[in-house]
Chain A
Amino acid sequence: GAGVSQSPRYKVAKRGQDVALRCDPISGHVSLFWYQQALGQGPEFLTYFQNEAQLDKSGLPSDRFFAERPEGSVSTLKIQRTQQEDSAVYLCASSFSNTEAFFGQGTRLTVV
């Protein structure tokens, strides 16, 4: 597809369960970003990749959160032992340069 694709669109997890969220960026885009957006709030930065290198992970809220982009294309955000406070929309964005970033529609995670 032409845009950033995220899957699944919706995920319900039981507290304590591990989840993996996938992001397919636009082909050729070097930069990839992950954000967490709570209801009524702006997107909160989680982590940033340039190709396969994770250059900034300062926004990851705890060591339960882990992101990877092993081949510089598809990225996975993994959350271990999910907690209720992890419930949010997780957004992925990609860009070719530091100009326009293209966002996916997000994955809505609900932890019950």
Chain B
Amino acid sequence: LAKTTQPISMDSYEGQEVNITCSHNNIATNDYITWYQQFPSQGPRFIIQGYKTKVTNEVASLFIPADRKSSTLSLPRVSLSDTAVYYCLVEGGSQGNLIFGKGTKLSVKP
């Protein structure tokens, strides 16, 4: 299973764009890259998933370079409510198990 590495923590201010990069050097051909968000006392919540290039939805964008050895979650104009832990996962299509790392604790300040 591909291992992921991401910063332990990040600080930002309201209204700024936040980019969290995740390294996954051993990603396999059939692996997808998925990001989850977790607030205290809640289960993780799916944010976005991609395979290559760029994916955008209503809450975030995901940038994946051609070699797919890293990915960057971009949160536009963060607010205080975006303070949470963000997890990057690399998952194979048929493997089933989702493996979480330690995540990145994002703190958004006013």
Chain A residues packing against B (C-beta within 8 Å): 4, 31, 33, 35, 41-45, 48, 50, 55-56, 58-59, 91, 93, 98-106
* Interchain CB contact under 8 A, A101 and B102: no
Q: Is B41 an interface residue (CB 8 A)?
A: yes
* Interchain CB contact under 8 A, B41 and A105: yes
Q: Which residues of B contact A41 (CB under 8 A)?
A: 102
Q: How many residues of B contact A (CB 8 A)?
A: 24
Q: Closest 10 interchain pairs by CB? A: A103-B43, A42-B100, A100-B46, A48-B96, A43-B100, A48-B97, A42-B102, A42-B103, A91-B43, A56-B97
Q: Is B42 an interface residue (CB 8 A)?
A: yes
Given A42-B87, A93-B43, A105-B42, the answer on whether A98 and B93 have CB atoms closer than 8 Å is: yes
Shortest Cβ distance from residue B60 to the other chain A in the assembled complex, whole angstroms: 14
Q: Which residues of B contact A99 (CB under 8 A)?
A: 32, 34, 49
* Interchain CB contact under 8 A, B41 and A45: no
Residue of B nearest to A100 (CB): B46
Shortest Cβ distance from residue B66 to the other chain A in the assembled complex, whole angstroms: 23
* Interchain CB contact under 8 A, A98 and B43: no
Residue of B nearest to A46 (CB): B97
Looking at B44, B46, B97, the one whose CB has the most chain A CB atoms below 10 A away is: B97
* Interchain CB contact under 8 A, A106 and B101: no
Beyond A58-B97, A91-B43, A98-B93, 5 extra complex contacts between A and B, CB < 8 Å: A33-B98, A42-B101, A55-B96, A102-B46, A106-B42
